[in-house]
Amino acid sequence: MITGHGGNVNALAERLGCSIDDIIDMSSNLNPLGPPPGLEAFLAENMGKIRSLPQADAREMVNAFSRRYDVDGNRVMAGNGTTWFLYTLPLALKTRKMLILGPTYSDYRDGCVMHGVAYDYVLSTADTLFAPDLDSVSQKLATGSFDTMVICNPNNPTGAMVEKEAILALVREYPHIRFVVDESYLPFVDHAEAISLVGEDRFPNLMVLSSMSKIFRIPGLRTGFLCADPSVIEGFMHYYQPWSVNALAQAAVIHLLDNKRDTEAFTLETRRFTATEKERFKLSLADCPGLRLFPSHAYFLLAGLDPSIPAGELCQRMGDGRILIRDCTNFDGLSNQFVRFSLKTREINTKLSLGLTKHLTLLKG
């Protein structure tokens, strides 16, 4: 299961006989501007915290989230990354069958597989630019076969979004179904605060996953939050292990959440930068042969390839130039005709576009 996450930068470095620092990793969806200024220095100053056990339930971290987003603390739970919640979800919700809006992140499926829980997809397609098919979603839910649904918003790897009111309409229409909305990439979207469902407390069947790993580029600290009805939080706590979030992660999250002015400025700067760079990158590939970029609300882009060009071949050629991109073959609903790029700085993005144009021209013949 763990082989389905991004590209393998270590394997590529070993193949090329170089350091992983020599690889430009454009397979992982992280903020090119992060971490925020001063965070690494803060962590260095707080290294002494590893000498003691962290708070067992990460309560101060939860309180910081509650203060920042004006959410009742009884509706918030901190975890060792959102991944912990995804793999615990089938147990905590006692899921019988899950509906997944895809193609999407593999851990929604893998959490079901781990616990022997049935699942199915509603898959969007390239023909509709991967716009979510909510009519098909409603038809599936109306069958009564499902008790849980997962929506990644914006979605990984397609970058597509479901409007807030459209999600809430489903939540209202099917009160017996638990809706899990993963907002890990939402901070990259303009006006994300108005779009987010984190503060929605009217619906006991709505759960929201929130991540700081992507926007603040701290995936190695493993932090994540679940916002849900207190009864749902209680269900998850049955599977919670003491000290699940390490001391440095707790300190970093509290620091970021309590420094609202600085983190908001950093987030706004990120949104401006990524929006500009994404458009510039798309224009640079407007005439690239054999490549079709799909609309994306995130800073990563899904691309379709000419049927004569397998994703593995393109990824290998780009890898030979020490640029790692994501082969999307193992996403359910995609194929070996799709790759994904997580954009970086202007210089690196330019290098990527030049490399893609060169290799796709050669492969296209």
Which pair of structure tokens corresponds to residue 60?
Answer: 């101060």
pLDDT value at 4 more than 70: no
Say what the pTM is: 0.94
Sequence spans of domains, the chain: 2-30+285-364, 51-259
Query: Exposure of 14 by Cβ count < 10 A (0-12 exposed, 13-18 middle, 19+ buried)?
Result: exposed
226: left (phi over 0), alpha (psi -120 to 50) or beta: beta
Instruction: Say whether domain 51-259 belongs to CATH 3.40.50.2300.
Output: no
Average pLDDT of every residue of the chain = 94
Beta carbons of 81 and 213 less than 8 angstroms apart: yes
pLDDT value at 355 more than 80: yes
Which pair of structure tokens corresponds to residue 191?
Answer: 């006006």
pLDDT value at 365 more than 80: no
Q: Identify the pLDDT of residue 8.
A: 81
pLDDT tens digits for range 197-217: 999 999 999 999 999 999 999
| pLDDT bracket for residue 5 (50, 70, 90) | low
pLDDT tens digits for range 229-283: 999 999 999 999 999 999 999 999 999 999 999 999 999 999 999 999 999 999 9
CA distance 162 to 34: 27
pLDDT tens digits for range 238-253: 999 999 999 999 999 9
Q: Identify the pLDDT of residue 364.
A: 82
CA distance 179 to 182: 10
Q: Identify the pLDDT of residue 33.
A: 94
What average pLDDT score do residues 176-182 get? 98
Q: Which residues contact 354 (CB under 8 A, 6 or more apart)?
A: none
What is the topology classification, in CATH, of domain 2-30+285-364?
Answer: Aspartate Aminotransferase, domain 1 (3.90.1150)
